[in-house]
A and B are shown apart, each in its own frame.
Chain A
Amino acid sequence: MESTGASGDLLALAGDGLLAGRAADGDSRAFGILIRRHAPVLRAYVNRITRRPSDTDDVLQEVALAAWQALPQLQNPDAVKGWLFRIAERQAFAMLRKQPQTAEIDEELPSADDSLARFDDRDLLRGALSRLPAQQARVWVLREVGGLSYDEIAEELDVPVSTVRGALVLARKKLLDVMGGTA
């Protein structure tokens, strides 16, 4: 027996922790609300890691299925957003491993509309990131946006830590170069 009606709408107001707890107990409705709530940012993160937006629906689907399976083991339901980010990373890496690196074709990521004449710092960053080689941009995003350690990035991308450090230095230099112009 599952409640319906008004509580369905009210459930959308619940915090992440409550939704994650209910989802862990088997409430698929709470799970749907939780995943839909974070899907836009998870999509953006996966896009930034893979640079393959056309594959992101598939990755997100795997993220959601993996999350559903693992939710009963989640120790702190209030920290579910960060936990979903870790799952998104793993699924994004899995997708990258499936696609040979040579076949990597950068697709267009969100960018500001030039005609809006609203070109702020972050638009500049977005543009600079899109001009970086995929691996450099990916490593930078994982470190600065995802907060992963050098060791974690190296392990996930299956490269030596020195390679990660090297890619980060190059990425930071290029980004600083671009951003420095507006200081």
Chain B
Amino acid sequence: MTDARPPSGPFEDLDGHTLDELVDYLDRGRTPLDPGIEASPACRIALAGLERLRLMAGGLLEEDAALERTHPDCWMTTVLDRISLEARPGRRFPVPGLPPGTEATVTEGALRGLVRAVGDSVPGLLTGRVRIEPQEPGDRMDLDIEVSMFYGFPIEDTVAEFRRRVVEILPRQAPFTVGRLDVRVADVVELPGAGAP
């Protein structure tokens, strides 16, 4: 290939079809089968080339990334510094049972952080998203928690331990008790280099 080559290459003459047409045909998964296109050697060569290009496009970014893995990420430090200043407090739940005229609240974000910490302290489990719904008269919280389990830990026992700790620790650290407690195991993660604990 040279730069002096005119723009019209071997893919100009496609037996009356255009490259654009062939791409649309590929995008449709070559259905319905177009006998005109399929019978043309020029079209078939172009289709094969387009498919090959598409295949290569698939891994292009991963290879680009591999070629310059060692990029410093000071930009990420800046990001983390900035977002740590804007925590997500969420809703504010009034602390129940305070004398009239007194008011205090606990943020949803603080409660979520507490539940996350409790979950992460249970061997074999990682806490994911935590949803909190306060129940009347306001001292009881329904919780819906997503977790990941590490492969090799008994799911039932580990989740039971997590539930026990949440029910026990939440009222100790925050002025609420646990109402309904749903724990959903979203996925099981493999520990590197170990099949079992």
Binding site for B on A (CB under 8 A): 1-3, 7, 10-11, 13-15, 17-18, 21-22, 24-28, 31-32, 35-36, 39-41, 43-45, 47-48, 57-58, 60-61, 64-65, 68, 72, 77, 109-112, 121-122, 125-126, 131, 141, 144-145, 165, 168-170, 172-181, 183
Contact = CB atoms under 8 A, between A and B. Distances in A.
Interface stretch (B31-39, B82-90, B96-104, B160-168): B82-90
> Contact residue range for chain B?
35 or more
B88 A122 contact: no
Given A64-B76, A169-B19, A173-B19, 18 more contacts: A11-B126, A13-B189, A13-B191, A17-B128, A18-B126, A18-B128, A22-B116, A22-B129, A27-B113, A27-B116, A28-B80, A32-B76, A39-B73, A65-B83, A110-B67, A125-B60, A131-B3, A145-B61
A48 B68 contact: no
B120 to A, nearest CB: 4
- Give 4 closest A-B pairs by Cβ, nearest first: A21-B129, A26-B88, A44-B64, A40-B65
Question: Secondary structure of the B side of the interface?
Answer: helix
Question: Secondary structure of the A side of the interface?
Answer: helix
Contacts, number: 199
B10 interface: yes
B112 A57 contact: no
Interface of B: 1, 3, 5, 7, 9-12, 18-20, 23, 45-46, 48-50, 52-54, 56-69, 71, 73-76, 78-80, 82-84, 87-90, 109-110, 112-114, 116-117, 120-121, 126-130, 146, 148, 150, 173, 186-187, 189-192
